[in-house]
Amino acid sequence: MTFTRTGIGGVGTSNFGRAPEQRIEALAWQAAEEALDDAGVEPREVDMAFVGSVFGAPGLANRVLAGVGLAGVPAFSIEAACASGTVALHEAHEAVRCGRAKTAIAIGVEQLSTQFTGPIVPEPTDPEGRSGLAMPALYALQASRYLQLHAVDPDLLAHVAVKNKSNGALNPRSHLGDRPPTFDEVLDSRPIAGPLTLLQCCPMSDGAAAAVITQHADDGHDVEILTSQRSSGALWTSPSEEPWGFSTVRATAERAFEAAGLTVDDVDVLEVHDAFTIGEVLTLEAIGLAAPGHGAELAPSGHTALGGRQPVNPSGGLLSRGHPLGATGLAQTAELVWQLRGAAGDRQVADARIALLETMGGGAAGVDANACVIALLRGPNR
């Protein structure tokens, strides 16, 4: 079978924040229209559409597509927890790569402000849900174990929040775009689930993002998808020595680097899943950017800051840009496309050529994450 090189021809996003007065479809329309315009693609040229959302109503994909002139295009609704948008990207990429489509669009959207008044609680029929363990509590358990196992100073986690919220202050579409907090303000913010404080947790956001996938063109605009790897978590039980989701992210990263013929040292800029500060730390260890127990040193050392060796989450990440679940992976994608084009403004990473995208979706008891997608992107010659 002959495979086609794929590229991201266009990206778009809404602004991120709380927009309960807006229809959820309208958020998606903003992102999809911007992506189509950016790609120079007419709706009639799109062959397939993949729409990711976790809490969207039935039929959401068709209402989204109808609003941007894509009614009648084969539509696929995708739910993979926080990785829903990234799985939509992966499937659009695979459709073009395998010749099922010449042009596909991936759209992710979520409106959490109309769904929740507090933190998201896992499925109530699962043990975590029955125990009342909301997502902050689950991540707090990971953080507590990590800090104890590796004898890490808890204060180091606050550096991740300071870094990402400082980046987010440079992002005009960010949910939390105001003055970034100081290190002490992060530590002194309201306790949520020890050791995590309020400013170490992502906000509940609304928003949408989209990407148009086409056959790769060396035109100075198109960003090539070198590889996209998707995994589902294997069975995960209490005897496991690794935190929840860790082995799934690690295995996905290993496949991605092998498929692209690259190593983590080749990566210039990363967007990773940082719904909570410990999430970024564990992800960077899982992909090999730091040895176990040393991921918490990356932010305070400056390695992952803007101007550092490998900036992580220049968009502000989930901690600052926001985390509208279904849109998150495609918002990460948009940021990396802008970075690789040299179009990221004040948060531009110098000479960014290779980018890594990682999103992990959890939420189902008994498995090591619902889904994980890791993609490696290469920017146009410029």
Residue 232 pLDDT > 80: yes
Instruction: Output the six-digit token pair for 29.
Output: 């329309």
**Catalytic residue set:** 82, 323
Per-residue pLDDT averaged across 44-61, rounded? 96
What is the pLDDT averaged over residues 162-189? 95
* Beta strands 223-231; 269-271: pairing state: unpaired
What confidence tens digit (pLDDT) does each residue in 140-161 have? 999 999 999 999 999 999 999 9
C-alpha 365, offset from chain centre: 21
Confidence band for 238, pLDDT divided at 50, 70 and 90: low
pTM attached to this predicted model: 0.97
Query: What is the spatial distance between Cα 327 and Cα 317, in angstroms, rounded to a whole number?
Result: 12
Burial class (CB in 10 A: 0-12, 13-18, 19+), 338: buried
Query: Region 36-40: what's the mean pLDDT?
Result: 98
Residue 26: band (very low, low, confident or very high) from pLDDT cuts 50, 70, 90? very high
pLDDT, tens digit (0-9, with 9 covering 90-100), for 78-124? 999 999 999 999 999 999 999 999 999 999 999 999 988 778 777 77
Q: How confident is the model at residue 382 (pLDDT cuts 50, 70, 90)?
A: low
> Contact, 47 vs 21, CB < 8 A?
no
Pairwise CA distance, residues 125 & 361, whole Å: 18
The whole-number average pLDDT for the span 318-346 is 97
Return the pLDDT at 7: 98
- Cβ neighbours for 96, distance < 8 A, ≥ 6 positions apart: 4, 6, 102, 103, 104, 213, 214, 215
Model pLDDT, residue 363: 67
Burial of residue 132, with CB atoms counted within 10 A of its CB: 0-12 exposed, 13-18 middle, 19 or more buried:
exposed
Query: Are 249 and 363 spatial neighbours (Cβ–Cβ below 8 Å)?
Result: no
6-116+205-210 to CATH, choices 3.40.47.10, 3.40.50.970, 3.40.50.300, 2.40.50.140: 3.40.47.10
The answer on pLDDT for 234 being more than 90 is no
- The domains of the chain are located at 6-116+205-210
**140 to each of 47, 136, 144, how far by Cα in Å?**
43, 6, 6
What pLDDT, on a 0 to 100 scale, did the predictor assign at position 240?
72
